[in-house]
Amino acid sequence: MQPSSNMSKTTSTMMRDRMVDENETLRLSLKWSRDLCIAHAAPEGGLLTGMSYSLIAILALVVIGLPVTATAEESKSTKETPAQKDWTNFVPVDPTPAKDGVVDLKATTAFLSEPDIMRRDPSDVIRCGDTYYVWYTKVLKGQPGYPGGWSGSVWYATSHDGHQWEEQGPALHAGGQEEWDGAGVYTPNILPYQGKYYLAYTAMAAPFDRKLSRASIGIAVSDSPDGPWKKLQSNPVIKPSDSTNDPDSFLCDDAVFVVHDGKIWLYYKGFAGQDLEDGTRIRVRKTTFLLTATADTPEGPYTKVPKILHRGHEALVWKDSNFIGSMCVGIGWGPSRMFSSADGVHFQSIYKLNPQLAAGIYRHDFEEDSTGARPSWGVSMEENKGQGLSRFEIIWPQDNAK
């Protein structure tokens, strides 16, 4: 049954609760900063100095995410021009769940964990015959960005039971130094469609710079999930907006495919950017949003839907029996929630979510003749910042009620 679209709070109540949340955050931030100053700036019960009170204010602003000027160089790197959009506290969807209960993603079996090798950001899982496939980012210690995946390559593993996995080898490598994906390829995802396989990936141009490099999304195609993979000549199919008033003006990442309403939907997360006086574009902190673009075929061209779907840092998106579902990990960019949408664009918060980091789900909806299905398990990064991957089970509130 499609979840109800009635919102559980009035606009005035939402504004009041938001003000309460922000005031509580500020109060706790000031308390934490004050206690820190007392411990370090006023030993043996001495009075706090004016300098100590200044430190309190600065630390409080750091905690709640407001800009703090520390040096001339840092000030220059964070200065925002007046013409750019103010993303402060921008929340497009009320995160209040419409239903009681928690969707619990519970880790079980860890695999492919080795020292000095980071396997991360697994794709959704698909099944071909009696074999499950998952793709992921692999980066070695010593590579730029390690343990992040920005300079990595895409590898894949297979399993016959979804628990025991065997690494098969690389699927995609970075392009040449002069190409758009020359710095590395990472965060893959998969779409099986009409006998072909489409592997989406994120990439940056060389040289890699975590603070300045802008990321786009490309696609490679193959007749087999084992490859070989051919990158599309039209890549990148999704790239950052030229306007800093758009939510993906710095980074486009984490592609997820959904086949819905006769079209290919490519969901992705966008980071907003801001331009400095010298023209350099940098990322605006805590501005990750779920976005989407549609196409008639997996190869595109893709047309962006001009709407922020909801806030959050990582999202699992799938086609259920009569709605599009999204499980979103907040990680400081908003609460973790399970969302639902009848049309794939307008989402509502349904349940609280106990997430796993950088997860991909087994796509029942990609099975032959499937009209959509609730996900039941998936693969994520290993818990406690491990080097490998882990299977997790999805426990729905209805399951706990039995």
Q: Among 42-46, 144-148, 156-160, 259-263, whose mean pLDDT is lowest?
A: 42-46
Averaged confidence pLDDT in the chain: 82
pLDDT grade, residue 393 (50/70/90)? very high
- Conformational region of residue 65, where left means phi above 0, alpha means psi within -120 to 50, and beta covers everything else: left
199-235 tens-digit pLDDT: 999 999 999 888 899 999 999 999 999 999 999 999 9
Per the model's pLDDT, the better-predicted residue between 222 and 11 turns out to be: 222
Q: How much is the pLDDT for 87?
A: 87
For residue 147, is the peptide bond before it cis, meaning its omega torsion is within 30 degrees of 0? Answer: yes
pLDDT at 208: 86
User: What per-residue confidence (pLDDT) applies to 56?
Assistant: 35
**What's this model's pTM, rounded to 2 decimal places?**
0.79
| Bond from prior residue into 236 cis (ω within 30 degrees of 0) | yes
Contacts with 333 (C-beta within 8 Å, 6 or more apart), sequence order: 286, 287, 288, 311, 312, 313
Residue 332: per-residue pLDDT: 65
* Confidence (pLDDT) at 353: 96
Mean pLDDT throughout 11-35? 35
Q: Check whether 49 has a pLDDT greater than 60.
A: no
**pLDDT of 85 above 70:** yes
pLDDT (tens digit per residue) in 271-294: 999 999 898 999 998 889 999 999
For residues 249-270, give the mean pLDDT. 96
Give me the pLDDT at residue 23, please: 36
